[in-house]
Amino acid sequence: MADQGLDLGVRARLAGGRLVLNPAARVTVTGTGPAAVPTRASAHAYAVRRAQLHRRLVYAPAPVVPLHWLSLLPLALWRSLVQLVGKRPAAVLPEWAAAVAAAVHLPSVAKARARLRTSRRAGWASVEPLRVSGSELRRRLDDGHGSEQGAVSELRFFSGGGAWAVLAALVVGIASFVSLLAWPAIGGGGLLPLRTTVAALWRDAGWGQRGLGVDVIGPADPFAGVIAVLGTLWPAAPSYSLVLLWLLALPFAVLGGWFAATRVTDRSGLRILGGLLWALAPTFLTALTDGRPAAVIAHLLLPWLFHAASVAHRSWGAAGAASLLLVGVVACAPSLAPHWRCCGRSRSSSPSPIASGTAPCAWSGCRSPPPSSSRR
């Protein structure tokens, strides 16, 4: 069956032949026989993976075949982990069975390589027209910006005016906070200069002494981790990252609102309107003028959370991104956690990301009494 898994088109091209499509041709397929693909899920997965590994060993150049053979079991281990993360445990055993079978059945590989070598009349360049380009493969595997069927709609970020809206917001943002260009740090309201080194920021985001009382040791507030990530973006002077945040807050808000609107509408005007309305939200502008970094960062992350969570049910990459964004949003605005738990409907609505970010504080609060309590 492994020999029958060889692609007929590839073998015909290597033999110097060509395939001609006949629109009037009819192909009869039977579900039984030695060449039939198994219908059972595990047997089908084994057959497909076995054929893939066999073709890899047969088509590879001779010096590379030992490397492919040595990589069979490590690759099976890696793919098994991927299958478990993707919640497909039924594919783990077929993966290992196919790897072991490909590693053991070397005589069939030798026979197939011998037949390919004797029938080959053309080089591998003749097979190039049959291969899918990298961009085409990414387009087919993209789970999507568009419909549930995976059709990818055009963003039209430049042609639709989204880039011009972001550029206009950048000009307005710099004009509104032009004095910040000469400042090494920003203060006032809830803003204070950050630590002078990135290492100190991450120490504050971990476990240590807290300013809640005398000799109070415990975990940091989750928002300290957000500040540590923000300060890391400008390691030479972490406090200057807040200055840049205030200068770029308006264009980032327009950009996030525009991308969130792409999940709702294909009309360029409505996308621009969504970005502008999100950037001109009174709560966001008030947070900028009052110097409240948590509210500003939460406002900037929310549209990206919506953008990722809206397709998290059909993409593990989007689900992972939504989970990380959810941790950042809840760290900035803990009051949003109950609402997300009640209204979430996607893979990223699992409470585990939030629990992982807030567990140290919750455990410390349950373990020890508040610093102000006293025994009588």
In three-state secondary structure terms, 160 is coil
C-alpha distances (whole Å) from 353 to each of 174, 280, 337, 365, 370 are 35, 30, 11, 19, 26
* Cα radius of gyration rounded to whole Å, the chain: 29
Is-contact 220 207, C-beta < 8 A? yes
Residue 305 gets which letter from DSSP? H
pLDDT given for residue 146 in this prediction: 41
The DSSP line for 188-215 is BTTB----SSHHHHHHHTSEEEETTSTT
- Of 188, 230, 186, 180, give the one whose Cα is nearest residue 205: 230
At 196, the pLDDT band (50, 70, 90 cuts) reads confident
Q: What is the value of pTM for the model shown?
A: 0.56
The answer, yes or no, to whether residue 115 has pLDDT greater than 90, is no
β-bridge partners, 210? 216
> Cα separation of 105 and 3, whole Å?
12
The DSSP line for 7-68 is -HHHHHHHTT------TT------S-STTPPP-SHHHHHHHHHHHHHHHHHHHS-GGGHHHH
Is-contact 253 278, C-beta < 8 A? yes
For 162-179, the pLDDT digits (tens) are: 999 999 999 999 998 888
Least confident range from 84-88, 127-131, 237-241: namely 127-131
β-bridge partners, 209? 217
For 308-360, the pLDDT digits (tens) are: 888 887 777 788 888 889 989 999 988 877 655 444 444 444 445 555 555 55
What whole-number percentage of the chain has pLDDT above 90? 24
At 210, the pLDDT band (50, 70, 90 cuts) reads low
For 337-350, the pLDDT digits (tens) are: 765 544 444 444 44
At 55, the pLDDT band (50, 70, 90 cuts) reads confident
pLDDT given for residue 254 in this prediction: 96
For 364-373, the pLDDT digits (tens) are: 554 555 444 4
pLDDT given for residue 151 in this prediction: 39
Name the phi and psi angles at 105, rounded to 5.
-85, 60
The answer, yes or no, to whether residue 299 has pLDDT greater than 50, is yes
At 212, the pLDDT band (50, 70, 90 cuts) reads low
pLDDT given for residue 224 in this prediction: 86
